[in-house]
Every structure is written in C-alpha cells, then in structure tokens.
Structure 1
C-alpha cells in the first residue's frame, strides 16, 4: 500500500488566502435557532392597536366595518360589501377573528366572522401579524382581536343617531341608532348597550339597483341588531372577574330578493337578473349569534400572571337557496 505525504508551505498559504478573500464579496447570512422557551412578547411579530375613536370616525363617514379595517390595517385586503369577509386576507394569508379573546372562526369554512358586532360596542382592536400559530389553525396571516367597551365607575349615557343616503330614490338610505348606559363603584362596573341599523338599497351611477349577492349574501335591505352587556368585578388589587354577554342578529328583508327571470333564464340562457321586492322564500339570509364569556385574571398567581376563560358561543348562518349567478352579471 502506497502512502503519500502532503506538505503545505507557509508562504504558499500566505499568498493564496488573500486572493480567495478578494474573490468573495458576498455578505454572510447567519441563521440561528434555539429550543428554549420564549414568551409571545419575545417573538418576532408586528402589532397594531386601532382605537375606537378612529373606527367611529370612519363609520360616521359612511363606511362599513370591513372597509374600515381595510383602511386602517396595513396589508389587509378589501372584501366585498356584504356579510362575508371571504377573500379578506392579511398579507395574502388567512386571518382569525376574536371578540374579547373568544374565537369566532369555526371548523366550517364560512366567512362571516366580521359580521359579528356593531362598531358602537368596540373599544379598540388589536391586530397581530406573525407568530400567530399560538392561536390555532387558520391564523397563518394574523389575527384580529376585537375588544369591547366596558363600564366605568362614573355614570355615563351614550346615544348615537345617524343616516346615510345616495339620494337615488326612496329606498336609498341607511339609518342607525345606538344607546348605552354604564356605571359602577370602586369594585364593580357594568355597561348595557343596544345598537340597531337598517340598510336600504344600493344603486349605481345610473340609479339602477345593484344586484344582490345570492351566494354569500349582502347587506342591502337588511337589519342589524347588537345587544351587549359587560360586567367587571375587582376582587382585589390583583384579581379580576369579567363577564361579557352578547346577542347579535343581522338578517335580510324577507320581501327583497334577486329575480333570476322566468325559469331562471339569467342562469340558463343569458337572461337578466335584477333586485326586486315580492320575494317568497322559506330561507332568509342572515347571521345570528349568542355569546357568553367569563374571564378570571390574577396578576400575582404564585409570582405569575394567570388568565383563564370559559365561554359559550353558538351561531346560525343562513344562505339563499338559489343557484349561483355567473353568466354576464
């Protein structure tokens, strides 16, 4: 067996190393990872807090809640002007919606999470983009946590009345009215609110009625009611008990619908579809939710911060029983 012995001369190394270094001008990229425990605050993520006053200004200008979010949250897509937030992603990925920490996304792939609250009852909105796998599936793009208004120690009565119209005809108008009363003591406080909005018809520049969305359903000719009650008990300086209850219903007018022509010619033979009254259907599109949430927090639980929550939520989502309109409309 032959053995070879290689010897590198020091002068040869001294002459070749600078030449190699001169040929490599690329920056070094260092990727590191560890398996140690890290809190959410220590993870890389982008957060925003949208105050209720900003939302209120946009709503008073005539915008719907989903449009307000698209205006105020960077990277979020604009959705359709209806009940659904389908296609409303954050940085191209799906989002999760919560109300006071209660997840609204269900196992079904419906898209009515933002058809869940009247802006009158929103204190602020917390938005997190990144590191959201901690909040379950479907949050690859981020999450939106809607924080509701709570009662204060001082007695307070809020009243809001508004109207919007495009002056196209007698049906082109929306009305809303909302009222809330709150108050409390040093150790307990509460708030009770009722918000109602009536949506009329929507029209284009030629004063022609816009076609109703007969798939995900729209807000034209519909009513929205949001009744919410919250209560807070300060057990001591560290411990707190908080209750949130809500009844929400958004339902279309049972008299208006999408006319697809005789024998559904708008679907089968290129006929014209249009919105009209005289609907007779056993299904009226809408969203109905009940929510009860009880949260206990302790800022000094054996030296740690404890937050525990139990909740009950049920919902009923109703759609039109009609086929999809795809031809020429």
Structure 2
C-alpha cells in the first residue's frame, strides 16, 4: 500500500489495558514503522484507557529519511533469522528532533531470542510509561541502551548513535570527470558541466568548466562524490563549507539556492536523492565577479549506507532574455572545494 501511495489504516485491535501493555505497544509501533509511508499510513490502537480515548504517546513518534527505501517485499528487511530491521536518518517525538532511530522486530516464538542487529551502535531505546495521552502516558527517547538480544515476539526502537561525532573533517575538489546527472534539473537550453565528480584528491588537470543557459532560464548544476565516497555510516551532523571559484563571470546569472544531498550509488534517485542533508535557500548571489564565492550549509545527521554518495547542487537563474554562460575552475589546483566539519 505504501508503494502504491494508497491510504492505509492499520488497526492494532488488542483491548488490554494500555498501561500494562508496554511491550506489546512497542512491538506494534516497531512493526508499523518498518514499512509505513508518512503521507498515507495511519496506525490506530484499541488499548483500554481510563478516559476511553484511544491515543497512546507512541503516536507522537515520526521516523523519516529511511536508509533503505521501502522494499517490494518485507523479506528484504530481514537482517538475521526471523529478525527484521530498518534504520531512519531523522526521527521526531511530538515534532522535536531526537536524531536517527532504528526499529527491530523478532518474529520468532517467545522462547527464541536473537541478537539485536546493530550491536552497540545505539545508546538509548524508546521509553513508554502509563497509558493514553489523556491519562498521563509519556514517551521519551532516553530509555536504556538496547540489550544484546531481542526476546521472541519482542521489538526494540533505538535512538542515539554512539559514534555520530567521530567523523573526521573531510574535503573534496571537483574534477574533470563527469558524474551522474539524475539529481540535477536539466532542461532544454542548459548545456555544459551539469555534473562533475568531486574527490578527496582532485582529478584531471586544472580547467574551466562552463555552464550555458538560455534566456530567463532556471537550472541546476553541481558535484557528486566518486563511487564509495565518503564511505561512512553514519554521517555526522556537520557544516558543509562550499567554495565556488568563478573564472568567467556573468552578472546576468545568479545562484538562488545551494543544497547538500545524500544520493545512492547511481547519483539518485531522481532529483530528490535519498535525503536532503541541508539547504541554503532564497539567495540572489550574483556570478558577476571573478573569484571565490563561499556558502555554508548546516547538514543533519544521516544514517547512510556505505555506497551512498554526497552531492552539492547549485540552482542558477538567468535574469537576461538572452543566452548567458559562466565558468568555474575544477581539477588539480582548483580553488572550488567542499569541506565538511562535524558539529
């Protein structure tokens, strides 16, 4: 249903008292989050509450930016025998960010426990107390660290990646090698260096990469890291410092938006990538002067896969009615760079 973008109401029909059904509520919630769609899927619960209002605090948990896209079959999420799991890059409780989270469910019989699939990666678990929202029930992401194993018919919702701030400072330079263009809006009238590969060590000799735009046109260009780069999981919350060194200026062109994306191994999917890491919107930065332009984008933590790639996307607007072009430098010795400093 989630894949087809059809509305789906998932009802957990157990009518036991909510306050004494914490483990079962955790199991329902973890199972629901395993394949839910934020826009079309709704979880309903029937647990008994003193007020008769059937809304528990776990309904305030929202998980976004899944590391693995919604699969066509649940078997794709089986991590080990009878244990299913999924990680999310950004999670919220009542609209407040609690960072990345993960859900794991052991579908085996009660007598058969299995290892928690992510070892000591996470520091905390979901903590529920009491019953319904109107009856004093509470939720937090500050429960104890996950146990080493999950009991049969049990589930864990985990938070707080232990290694999130150990990422080193990274640097990339765009080179002369072209990169996948899936992320970039390329329309009739835009030609040139739409997408260049960026690497820790610049590739190719120093050159000027040109972009050409038709009159009154808005398009995008940018850089995508090479295969397997940065090769980290997770990505720490960081400041992305971008330098674009303009070598052939043009006052008719403006940068209106700068974005950092996490994309898959093929540079996609589509123009939205796997996740928007950070954005610097509503700009009107002229490209009319030769020299370096600096942009600083604050990026969120990402539960990335090891094959996920990093991308920078610049949105450009031509304010002239005539075709216009500009160039920036790339390759060995280029001043155009991206540096990443964990926060």
Interval containing the TM-score (normalised by the shorter chain): under 0.3
Give the TM-score taking structure 1 as reference length.
0.21
Structure 1 or 2: larger strand share? 2
Give the TM-score taking structure 2 as reference length.
0.21
Structure 1 or 2: larger helix share? 1
